[in-house]
């Protein structure tokens, strides 16, 4: 190779960031240490044993006995697509309860698998009532109801009690997005009668992005087995993955071994702290943030009874350039806070307190910066008007 084709680059050097946005969050140091271990083969008996531990820990964290519970080799969106790819056949009616950006993504994905997609909708910042869910089920008679538990775009936590019962009464599967709730917010797949669920590795689990936890219950398994043809996505076909993650351990793909090292440690840390203690920690720190924001005169977008402990949407004051302030936090302090998505673009900041980052010191640091440095970003015209008034 000639010299002109050679590249000379310095070793990678990334700054320290405190990730208080919608994700990813900072990974736990123990997880980062596990990721740096030397890889072993993806069919090595030691790795096979670790796979079983990851599955059992995921079942604990999701509060389920589902046999088909495993981390998809891909990000949370891969696990999201896997739930649809495996149970949706062309012409199946899928009802998507849309109340934010990720409901729209479910709608898009289901349509790509040639489902008859129907929707019920709520404004971004609200949740569905049981009556609204039941009316949608009666009207559309779907094979699958897809709904987001923790809507990352709005900060809404959807109450789940009774929805699974309605799905059983109307003979449809319940598909649940738990991307921003797994490992951080009370979540009971079996008790809530959830048939399909997915999540990600980089939020409540304190692991970098790269794995997508997936769980399929018996009713969804039955629909998978009754398909008239093959699952149209080979990589995400659970009937094939089951042979690798099940008792046979038949080669399917080269799994990301080190990511599963990290996932194993992330889940072990949750089990060590205790799931209820983890949930209580996230709630306690979220309330500390909410109270502090309100003391500073900032308005929260979601009513208190529907707020996610992991993701808080704060309305950007009208006299503040929201993007300029988040760039200031990033460039001066190394702190990432997210902006709004979709209907909330430019209207809210999204503050994440997830997993390892859900700590009092992080809350207090951000509140202090907001108190001390946000006033400088208020427009002078508004300040003059306020002074005259």
Which residues in the chain come in under a pLDDT of 50? 1, 381-389
The number of beta carbons lying within 10 Å of the beta carbon of residue 153 is 28
100 with 218, same domain: the answer is yes
How distant, in Å, are the alpha carbons of 214, 264, 266 from that of 34?
Answer: 22, 9, 9
pLDDT in the model for residue 386: 45
Q: Give 139-158 pLDDT, tens digit per residue.
A: 999 999 999 999 999 999 99
Same domain, 256 and 189: yes
Last residue of a domain, one of 271, 287, 304: 271
95 and 45 share one domain: yes
In tens, the pLDDT along 339-372 reads 999 999 999 999 999 999 999 999 999 999 999 9
Token readout for 316 is 């950007």
**So what's the pLDDT on residue 2?**
57
Predicted pLDDT of residue 383: 47
Q: Can you give the pLDDT at residue 252? A: 87
* Domain encompassing residue 76: 29-271
| 59 and 200 both lie in a single domain | yes
pLDDT, tens digit, for every residue of 102-127? 999 999 999 999 999 999 999 999 99
Q: Are 17 and 208 in contact (CB under 8 A)?
A: no
Residue 201 lies in a domain: yes
Chain-centre distance for alpha carbon 328: 26
Of the chain, the percentage scoring pLDDT greater than 90 comes to 90
According to the model, what pLDDT value does residue 384 have? 36
- Do 155 and 204 fall within a single domain? yes
Q: Quick one: tokens of 26?
A: 């900072």
What pLDDT score was predicted for residue 247? 78
Residues 355 and 252 grouped into a single domain: no
The token pair at 182 is 């797994």
For 334, the enclosing helix (H) or strand (E) is none
pLDDT score, position 254: 87
Give the containing element (helix H, strand E) for 19. strand 18-19
Give the pTM: 0.94
Residues 361 and 212 in one domain: no
Per DSSP, what are the bridge partners of residue 194? Answer: none
């Amino acid at each position: 190779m000639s010299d002109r084709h050679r590249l000379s680059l310095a070793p990678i050097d990334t700054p320290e960031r405190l990730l208080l946005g919608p994700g990813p969050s900072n990974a736990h140091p123990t997880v980062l240490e596990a990721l740096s271990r030397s890889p072993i083969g993806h069919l090595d008996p030691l790795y096979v044993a670790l796979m079983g531990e990851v599955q059992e820990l995921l079942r604990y964290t999701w509060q389920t006995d589902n046999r088909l519970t495993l981390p998809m080799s891909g990000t949370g969106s891969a696990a999201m697509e896997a739930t649809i790819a495996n149970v949706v056949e062309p012409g199946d009616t899928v009802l998507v309860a849309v109340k934010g950006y990720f409901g729209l993504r479910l709608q898009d994905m289901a349509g790509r698998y040639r489902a008859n997609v129907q929707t019920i909708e709520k404004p971004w910042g609200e949740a569905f009532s049981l009556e609204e869910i039941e009316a949608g089920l009666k009207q559309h008679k779907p094979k699958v109801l897809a709904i987001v538990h923790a809507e990352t775009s709005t900060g809404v936590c959807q109450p789940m009690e009774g929805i699974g019962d309605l799905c059983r009464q109307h003979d449809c599967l319940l598909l649940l997005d738990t991307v921003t709730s797994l490992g951080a917010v009370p979540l009971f797949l079996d008790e809530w009668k959830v048939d399909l669920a997915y999540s990600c590795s980089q939020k409540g689990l304190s692991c970098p992005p790269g794995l997508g936890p997936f769980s399929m219950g018996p009713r969804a398994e039955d629909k998978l087995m009754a398909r008239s043809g093959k699952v149209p996505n080979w990589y995400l076909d659970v009937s094939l993955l089951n042979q690798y993650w099940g008792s046979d351990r038949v080669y399917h793909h080269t799994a990301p071994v080190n990511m599963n090292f990290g996932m194993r440690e992330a889940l072990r840390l949750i089990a060590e702290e205790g799931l209820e203690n983890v949930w209580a920690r996230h709630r306690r720190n979220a309330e500390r943030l909410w109270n502090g924001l309100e003391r500073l005169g900032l308005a929260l977008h979601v009513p208190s009874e529907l707020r996610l402990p992991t993701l808080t949407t704060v309305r950007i004051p009208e006299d503040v350039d929201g993007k300029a302030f988040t760039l200031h936090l990033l460039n001066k302090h190394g702190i990432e806070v997210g902006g709004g998505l979709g209907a909330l673009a430019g209207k809210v900041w999204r503050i994440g307190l997830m997993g390892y980052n859900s700590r009092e010191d992080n809350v207090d640091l951000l509140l202090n910066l907001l108190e001390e440095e946000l006033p400088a970003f208020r427009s002078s015209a508004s300040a003059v008007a306020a002074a005259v008034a």
